[in-house]
Chain A
Amino acid sequence: QVQLVQSGAEVKKPGASVKVSCKASGYTFTNYFVHWVRQAPGHGLEWMGIINPSGGGTDYAQKFRGRITLTRDTSTSTVYMEVGSVRSEDTAIYYCTRDYLPGGSPGGFDPWGQGTLVTVSS
């Protein structure tokens, strides 16, 4: 079955960087765009960015441009999200999710990864 499995929880000090992985299985990795969404404690969902696993092209929400980097490794069907210079406000659950339709057309998300808690604390 189609599955996205994320790496485990992270604890980081302010100013450090954090890299979260999302391993895809059950489908052709390069056919579906992958997105990252975060949810701060007690808050709603916030879209962060998108990556095309085929060519590696990315786009980011204005708020995150210059702070996050999305990359992929086609040999392992894995997408990575790196947040640089984290601060306390970056404490959140980070989700990867996939377009439910192939080819990058505007669309919704299914399935979702299980989420990765990133805690930023001194």
Chain B
Amino acid sequence: GENVEQHPSTLSVQEGDSAVIKCTYSDSASNYFPWYKQELGKGPQLIIDIRSNVGEKKDQRIAVTLNKTAKHFSLHITETQPEDSAVYFCAASRQAGTALIFGKGTTLSVSS
């Protein structure tokens, strides 16, 4: 079955710096890759996603890139702010209406 590896597990940056979180997946049939932000005690919030027919997608300060050949995808956050501090999860799926396979998460701390 699908396996998703996420690195790093913790990431500390200064306000204004960029942050990059990387994931790799094993199932070449996976075609949907979302990123979620989870604040303490809350449910995950979908922040950006990408389909396998697209190499990059951007939404204001966040962007996601996908390398299908290498089975890598990454989340990029620019101009980080303290409110970006949270746990970020990547996930992969091969079919709508079925399981998302999640990475183990990255705890991002942005200090001012």
Partners in one complex: no
A→B interface (CB under 8 Å): none
